[in-house]
């Protein structure tokens, strides 16, 4: 699979919060943290742990720019990414970059 560099962020897993069906992963990408939400099955298949290097990938046509106040849920994540899983592979969700 070929992916252009602007469509991926390289980082390390900072924390993992497992739920019943979904797992939230916070990734340190250098100047900010990105939060990814994936299915439990996708998390189990990737066998991720804190400190692991990982790529957060997104579709460039799914980027949304939002100007103004950041809502309470994403206050600490100036950029956020939500992933899901479809069958055995990951699919793109939404990606937002907040501007101030």
What are the sequence ranges of the domains in the chain? Answer: 5-99
Q: So what's the pLDDT on residue 71?
A: 56
CATH for 5-99, among 2.40.50.140, 3.40.47.10, 2.40.50.100, 3.10.580.10?
2.40.50.100
The series of mean pLDDT values per 10 residues for the chain, 100 residues long, is 69 94 92 87 92 85 63 49 40 39
Q: So what's the pLDDT on residue 82?
A: 46
pLDDT > 90 fraction of the chain, expressed in percent and rounded: 33
Buried b (16+ CB within 10 A) or exposed e, 33-53: bbbbbbbeebbeebebeeeee
């Amino acid at each position: 699979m070929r992916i252009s560099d602007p469509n991926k962020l390289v980082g390390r897993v900072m924390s993992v919060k497992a739920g019943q069906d979904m797992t939230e992963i916070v990734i340190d990408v250098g100047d900010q943290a990105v939060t990814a939400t994936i299915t439990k099955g996708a998390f189990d298949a990737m066998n991720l742990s804190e400190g692991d290097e990982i790529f957060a990938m997104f579709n460039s046509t799914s980027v949304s720019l939002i100007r103004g106040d950041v809502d309470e849920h994403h206050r600490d994540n100036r950029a956020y990414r939500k992933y899901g899983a479809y069958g055995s592979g990951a699919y793109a969700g939404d990606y937002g970059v907040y501007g101030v």
